[in-house]
Structure 1
Amino acid sequence: METKKRIREQTAFLLSKGWVQYLLALLITGVALLLCLSFRTESDYHLFSFILLFVVSFLSTFLGTGPVLLASALSALAWDYFFIPPHNTFKIDRSEDILIFGLFFVIVVVSGVLTTRVRRQELLARERERKTNALFLLTRDLSKASGMDEVIRVATEGITTYFSPESVFILREGDARQGAPVGLARSGQLPESEFQIAQWVFTHSRKAGTFTSQPFDSRYTWYPLTGSRLNPGVVALVREHPFETELNTFWEAFITLASNAIEREFLAESAQMVRFLHESDRLYKTLFNSISHELRIPVATIMGASDTMANTTVPRKMQTALSREIFTASLRLNRLIENLLNMSRIESGHITPRTNWHDINDLINKVAGDLADELKPFSLKVEIVEEMPLVKMDFGLMEQVLYNLVYNATQYAPPASEITIRCHYLHGNLVLEVCDQGPGFPENELRDIFRKFYRGKGSHTGGLGLGLSIVKGFVSAHNGTISAANRPGGGAVFTLIIPSERPDITGWSSPLNTE
């Protein structure tokens, strides 16, 4: 297939050379004359005129008018000289022979006109096909383009290929719906005079510049980009001559496609901004309501207990209980503030783990000690494989991760149930699991539980919905992953995997079990 295509291309290239066409006309006509001479007879010389006429007609299908005229003249003169009696003279006695002699030249004129018309139609058809294919490719590329920069790049490449080597896009800025004036974004690559023309084109939605009814003093031809819902900007071309009718039609179709694609990106950005503002407003209300609720409880507890201790005489035993309430409320308030600060660190990207070698037992013991009161109604079971190696991690961040996971289990698991912490080392990774015997998660909520401010629909506990989001952020800072799933027998399991090279000196295991 490729060979045939290559042969066709080479043949078309050769036939485009004028001297090659004349040479072919001479060769084919000469061969035909030699064949006719070899079979020449006195009585059937008209037959040879038809053969030569056929050859001339055949040549007119792929050669230009000049080569065909040459072949026709040679054939007519040769037929007169070699075939019409008397031979070897140019004398013609019979009127029908004169008519046939003239047919050679009539064929040239008729075939030339028809061939020229056919070829012109063929060229127009090919040009239309090329433009249609170009529009198809542009439509495909624009539909695949993602983002404004990609759309502008595709459109600019199309303009460079088919219309002008130099073009400029200037897009709109501002949004009347938000009270911002609508205009064109300033372009540092254009002089002020050109920018003013661009602004006029954008405002009036009319083309201006060279080869237009509004020439101004510009080296560009400026066109408005018009969309169905908004005008996304303007485009300028450097042109040496006006577009012909066919090319102008092609350009209008081209610029319509580009305008629609750019408008689509503007509308997508606008819709995304609306969603962002809506989400921000929703998060603001959620955060405000949650913080108000979460702050009110410990603050009210602290104020009430403090007022009771300050203004009344209470027994020492009650003072101890009130002090414990103040301390518990302070811890809750401190945990709320820590979660907000940690979320802020994650959002800003300022978390850089300071890793060192640590014993996983120390981490679990520290968290179990901090949550001793919360774990009293539960049975904590710790399963660590023998010869568990030291783990390279940021102890502070991982302490917060494990604290949040275990604390989350205490909030949802029923009293007297078992909370399990499993730990092992697998293929260069620390694998840590926290399991409980609570209600688990609805299947449709599993993908959302690590989202910021997300709280399950059936959640009866307080909080801002930041704990698991912070866990995911701190685990990601270690280049690790965390997932949640429902246990087959009921309850939930969180599995976190953190890359950690194996040290030369392994740690030791001392299982911790507290009832």
Structure 2
Amino acid sequence: MQIKVGPVFNRNISTTKQYVISISLIGIASIVSYIFHDYIGYRAVALILLLAVSLSAMLFDILPVLICAVLSALILNFFFIPPLYTFKIASAEDVLMFLMYLLIAMINAVLTIKIRQFEDKKRSEEEKEKTIALYNTLLNSLSHELRTPISTIIGAVDTIVDNEEKLSKESIRELYAEIGTAGNRLNGQVENLLNMSRLDAGMLKPTFDWFDINELVFNAVKESNYPATERYVIFEPNDDVSLLYMDGGLLEIILYNLIHNAMQHTPPKSNVLIDCNYINEKLIIDISDNGKGFPKEEIDFVFNKFYKLDATATGGTGLGLSIVKGFTEALNGKITLENKKTGGAHFHIEIPSKTSNIQIAEDE
């Protein structure tokens, strides 16, 4: 027996009815939660409302789901988070909880779009099975990748709130640093989801301008936060690539994902070498490390969506390298990967580009 939900289900329901039913779900969940909130607490109420949003995401189109997500967040704030019957939130912990709730609810809406797109592309049972497997992988990854930084943030805030008078300033600074690191990790996962959505939807349109490639590399290295990882990035600026006609935004994301990937999958004290050149009207970028490299039999699959090494202990949704490949191809370039004979991985990128030969004298 097959149970069909999503687009097959909502084709028989008008848009107006979808709004009515989805808002009703939130209303019922809110009323039931309000009756019992003295016993279950407002954090449990957040889970109940999120369940109602998730149910709407499984059944209805994106706009009703977005309305549900925003409405449920406002109801949670106004009726359940102290102080009651106001949109003001008193504690930093509750502010973070509210923001995390809204973020996860909105991610539900984004995933709904992806599910609709994939279900529209189903043309056979084989494609259907691949789609289900793909999203099982995504949801399994997100269940860990989103929960871990959220738990870190909530745990650190709880510690600060409960022991503020006992903690030293240094301990509080360390806890705030943990919150910042977890927040950056969470933001990175959401950015990768949005970037992959742009690729899959065909909405990626490069915008070219003159960029200093050396500066883009330095920005990507800085964003990777490499000093905290005990890995070393080695990069010598090259005057030949100081000014190229390029989509700087896409290139910086490519560089960031490759550097971040090297940071995740190499042992401490490893070196990451970045080399940029301009040869035959092409920007040439080589990024290599002295880690363990990739299993030879898996090199052909590393750019696939949601690909992760079986032995990988670190986190990640497996989107970084597929985004690198997609963005490189959007710039009419190509990327290859090989293992170095001395150990480690070597990514080679070639992107066609124009260069400026204009030189401006300092005193001119």
Residue 341 of structure 1 corresponds to which residue in structure 2?
194
2: CA distance between counterparts of 1:278 and 1:366? 41
Q: Secondary structure at the match of 1:455?
A: coil
Q: Secondary structure at the match of 1:446?
A: helix
Cα 1:387–1:395 change in 2 (3 A) is: closer
Structure 1 moving runs of 4+ over 6 Å: 176-179
Larger RCO (CA within 8 A; separation ≥ 6): 2
Residue 108 of structure 2 corresponds to which residue in structure 1?
none
Residue 393 of structure 1 corresponds to which residue in structure 2?
246
Residue 312 of structure 1 corresponds to which residue in structure 2?
163
Residue 420 of structure 1 corresponds to which residue in structure 2?
273
2: CA distance between counterparts of 1:407 and 1:329? 15
Alpha-carbon contact 1:374-1:407 (below 8 Å) kept: no
Cα 1:507–1:318 change in 2 (3 A) is: farther
Q: Secondary structure at the match of 1:450?
A: coil
**CA offset at residue 503 of structure 1?**
2.1
Q: Secondary structure at the match of 1:459?
A: coil
Cα 1:402–1:318 change in 2 (3 A) is: same
2: CA distance between counterparts of 1:473 and 1:293? 25
Code of the residue aligned with 1:379 in structure 2: it is Y
Alpha-carbon contact 1:453-1:466 (below 8 Å) kept: yes
| Identity over aligned pairs, percent | 40
1: CA distance between counterparts of 2:147 and 2:3? 36
**CA offset at residue 456 of structure 1?**
1.6
Residue 501 of structure 1 corresponds to which residue in structure 2?
354
Is 2:336 the partner of 1:483? yes
**CA offset at residue 286 of structure 1?**
0.8
**CA offset at residue 304 of structure 1?**
0.6
Q: How does 1:182-261 map to 2 (within 5 A)?
A: none
Is 2:151 the partner of 1:287? no
Residue 298 of structure 1 corresponds to which residue in structure 2?
149
1: CA distance between counterparts of 2:351 and 2:226? 29
2: CA distance between counterparts of 1:424 and 1:382? 12
Q: What is the RMSD of the two structures over their aligned residues, measured on CA atoms?
A: 2.3
2: CA distance between counterparts of 1:497 and 1:506? 25
2: CA distance between counterparts of 1:439 and 1:312? 43
**CA offset at residue 486 of structure 1?**
0.6
Code of the residue aligned with 1:381 in structure 2: it is I
Residue 442 of structure 1 corresponds to which residue in structure 2?
295
Residue 223 of structure 2 corresponds to which residue in structure 1?
370
Aligned counterpart in structure 2 of residue 462 of structure 1, from 303, 307, 315: 315
Is 2:210 the partner of 1:357? yes
Q: Secondary structure at the match of 2:241?
A: coil
Code of the residue aligned with 2:133 in structure 1: it is R
- Give the number of equivalent residue pairs: 242
Alpha-carbon contact 1:390-1:506 (below 8 Å) kept: no
TM-score normalised per structure 2: 0.63
Alpha-carbon contact 1:429-1:499 (below 8 Å) kept: yes
2: CA distance between counterparts of 1:302 and 1:391? 41
Cα 1:321–1:274 change in 2 (3 A) is: same
Question: Which ranges in structure 2 are unaligned for 5 or more consecutive residues?
Answer: 5-121
1: CA distance between counterparts of 2:360 and 2:320? 30
Q: How does 1:124-203 map to 2 (within 5 A)?
A: none
TM-score normalised per structure 1: 0.45
2: CA distance between counterparts of 1:420 and 1:381? 5
Alpha-carbon contact 2:226-2:233 (below 8 Å) kept: no
Q: Secondary structure at the match of 2:300?
A: coil
Residue 329 of structure 1 corresponds to which residue in structure 2?
182
2: CA distance between counterparts of 1:285 and 1:293? 13
Q: Secondary structure at the match of 2:354?
A: coil
**CA offset at residue 461 of structure 1?**
1.6
**CA offset at residue 413 of structure 1?**
1.7
Cα 1:507–1:399 change in 2 (3 A) is: farther
Residue 131 of structure 1 corresponds to which residue in structure 2?
none
**CA offset at residue 311 of structure 1?**
2.0
2: CA distance between counterparts of 1:278 and 1:178? 14
**CA offset at residue 502 of structure 1?**
2.4
**CA offset at residue 462 of structure 1?**
0.8
Q: Secondary structure at the match of 1:354?
A: coil
Alpha-carbon contact 1:384-1:424 (below 8 Å) kept: no
Question: Which ranges in structure 1 are unaligned for 5 or more consecutive residues?
Answer: 1-175, 180-270, 509-515
**CA offset at residue 417 of structure 1?**
2.1
Alpha-carbon contact 1:356-1:394 (below 8 Å) kept: yes
Code of the residue aligned with 1:360 in structure 2: it is I
Code of the residue aligned with 1:478 in structure 2: it is L
